[in-house]
Amino acid sequence: MPYQAFIDFFPDLAKRETRCIIVPPGRVGSPLPEGEYALIEQYCNDGGCDCRRVFFFVQSSFRQGPEAVIAWGWESREFYARWMGDDDEASLDALQGPVLNVGSPQTDLAPILLEQVETLLSADTAYVARIREHYRLFRQHVDGGRAPAWFASEAAGAGPGRRRPGKKKRKVRRP
């Protein structure tokens, strides 16, 4: 499953909405050196895939190449077990994340950046919603204009991960 940068398809939106971790000069106590760390989003570009994951290529302002590559899947472990067809704990941990991607280059700053990204994702629901929307746009572009199946149920008010595929929405009787 090859991953491609969000900016490749949506350059203006990516330039406006790419999140950066900024460590200003002279900041005392920061575990990261001063500079900017851009979280460059990459998504799977396999047609029809719905892995619901992002890879953050963390690029610093002071060094070439990624400082870290962090994979994150926002769905439940149950979702990934169904999606993968396996319930191997280590595989599920790697799919759900956030984790440092084993097959990618990592610098000495990678563990610190992973902690920073974990904190960001757990504290900023608006940013998580933005990632999910970017994923939807990316999937729609890759899949020829079709939105992912889960998006239709969310748009109808079911919310993320609340309905399982194949389950019908219960009708409410009104007097």
Number of domains in the chain: 1
* 65 occurs within a structural domain: yes
Counting as low any pLDDT under 70, the low residues of the chain are 1, 146-175
Please check whether residue 9 is in contact with residue 141, taking contact to mean a CB–CB distance below 8 angstroms: yes
Given this model, what pLDDT does residue 140 score? 93
Given this model, what pLDDT does residue 148 score? 62
Phi, psi of 151 (to 5 degrees): -65, -35
Alpha carbon distance, N-terminus to C-terminus of the chain: 51
* 164 occurs within a structural domain: no
Which domain range does residue 95 map to?
A: 3-155
Distance between CA 71 and CA 21 in Å, rounded? 17
* 91 occurs within a structural domain: yes
Given this model, what pLDDT does residue 27 score? 83
Distance between CA 137 and CA 7 in Å, rounded? 12
Given this model, what pLDDT does residue 67 score? 97
* 174 occurs within a structural domain: no
* 70 occurs within a structural domain: yes
* 160 occurs within a structural domain: no
* 168 occurs within a structural domain: no
Given this model, what pLDDT does residue 79 score? 93
Per the structure block, which two tokens stand in for 115? Answer: 């902690």
* 15 occurs within a structural domain: yes
Q: What is the dihedral of CA 149, 40, 95, 155, to 10 degrees?
A: -20
Please check whether residue 100 is in contact with residue 111, taking contact to mean a CB–CB distance below 8 angstroms: yes
